Structure 1
C-alpha cells in the first residue's frame, strides 16, 4: 500500500524550495479504485486472524465458510496489493528524481518507515504485509534504481515475470519480489495511465487472467479440502486477482465509474490508515473473547463467521464514509501524511 499518486500540491510560497514547488502528478482513479477494492478483500481474508477465531473442520471436511473464503478471498487480494506497491514505488522514484537531491535516500527513508510501522503492526496482526513489503523493497526495488534508465523497464519486467511464474505455485510472500518488479515496470511504461485512458488494456488483462484462472478454480471446487494448501490454490488466487484488476479497470470506462469511485476511492486514498485501523478496531472488539492461555483460536460456527463478514461490510462502509469526510477536510490520511513527511523530510 502506498500513496503513490497524489493530488497537485498547493501553490508554493516564494520561500519554498524547488522540491516543494515541483508539481506532483495528478491522481489516477484506477489506482485508487483497485487499491480500495483490494483493501476490502484483505479485510475479509484477515478477519479470522485479527479476531483470533476459526471455524473447525468436521469429519475431515472444511466448513462452508472456509470453502467460500478460499474460493473468493484468500490469495486473491494480497497479489493486487503487491503489484500496486511496485507501481507506487516506480512512480515515487520518478518523482524523487525530479524533486530530491538524493532520491535514493528518499526511497530508503520511506521503506524504513514502513518497516517500523510493519514491525509494530505485527503485534496486532501476525503475518501482516507491511514488514515483508519494506524488507523486499530494500532488497529488490531499491537496487533496481541503479540499473540504467533505458533498460530498467525491460529488466524489471523480465525479472518480475520470471520470479512471479516461479513463485506462482507457492503463493504468499514468495510472490512479493516478482510482483514488485512487474508493478515497477508497469509504472515506468506508464501502463496505469493507459488503463485510465482506454479500456482495452484492462479488457485484455481480464480475459487473459480469466482463461488462466478458470481451470484452477474448477480444480479448487473439486478438492475443497485442499484449498489454500496447494499450488492449485496459489495459481487460482494470483490469476483471479489479476482478473479482478482488469475487470475494475474496464468498468471504470462504463457508467459504473461514478459508483466505484464514490465507494472505493476514499478507501484507496487512505488504504494504509484503514488497513492498520481495521486491525486496531478488530483487536479491541475481540478483547472480551480472547482465546484462553495456550489456545491459539476461539472456535466459532459458520453462522457466526457469516455474521463477522457482515460486520466487515459495515466497517468498510463506515471507513469509506469517514475517509471521504477526512479527505474533504484534511486532504490526506493521518498515517499517509506521517509516512509522506518521513519520506520527504523538509522537501515535502
Structure 2
C-alpha cells in the first residue's frame, strides 16, 4: 500500500502522528542502548576523561549530517522551507539560549532528550526535570516568560533564506555538506578506536543520527502529498514537550501532529530497550540540594531551548544537519555553557576522575 492509499484510509493527521511515533520509538531505542547524551560528551571533552560518550555523540552527529545532505543531494528532500532556514532567525537568542541550555544540562545531569529516555527507565529525577522543562518551555513560548524571550530574540536578528544557510554562505553546496559529515565520521571512528567503543554504542549512535535524517525526509515527503500544511521538520524536544503538555491539559479533541507522536514514541522506545536490557530501575533524589539543582537545570533548559530555537537535539543535531547558522551558534553556546558550568560546579580533582553517569 502506497502513501496516498494509506493517507486516504487513515487520514493525514493520523499518518503524520504515527510517523512521529514510529521515528520516536527508534530514537528512544537507539538513544537508550548507546547512552547518547550531549552533556556526557561535553563533560568528557572538557575534563579529558576519555572519548566514549564523545564518540557516540559524533557518530550521531556525523550520521545525521551525511544522511540529510545525501537526501537533499539526490533530490529526495528540500529543507529550504524549514523554519531553521526560511524564517527570520535570532543570533542573540541562539547564543544566549545555547549558553543557558548548556548550563542547564550540567545542573540537571542530562539534556531534555536524555531526560525522556531516563524517565522511561524509571528515573524519577528525570521525570520531574522533564515535566518542569516542558512547563518552562510553554511559559517561554506563550506564557509568563514570553516577553523576556521575545526581547532577547530581538536584540540581534538575521533574515531567513540564504543568510541562514552556511552551505550557501561559503559556496560549499550539499556535496560539501556530505564531505563535512564524513570528516566528523572519521573523527568518530578514531575516537571510538581509542576508547575501544563497542559495536552496540557505535550502531546506536549512528541510529540516532539516522532517525534525525529520516524525520526530515518523512515530513517532507508527507508534506508534498498532503492537502494540508505539514511543516518540514526533524527531531526536537523543546517545542514538542510543550505541545504534549498542552495536549494533556487541554480538552479532548485537540489536533495531533508529528510532535505529539514523537515524545511518547521516545518514551516507549526507551522503555522497551531498557526492558530488553533489564535496566528498568526506580531512582529518586538523594537530598534536597540535588532536587534544587535539577529544578534549576530544567528551568535553564526550558527557557534556553525555546530561546535558542531548539534543544541539544533540535538545534545541536537536527538544525546543524541542514547547516542553519543559528543552530550552529546554539550548539557552540551549549558546548561553552556546559563547559563553564562543569568547571564551576562539577570538575573533579585530576587524580580522582569518576566514571560518567549513564
Q: TM (normalized to structure 1)?
A: 0.29
* Structure number with bigger Rg: 1
Q: TM (normalized to structure 2)?
A: 0.29
* Structure with greater contact order relative to length (CA < 8 Å, sep ≥ 6): 2
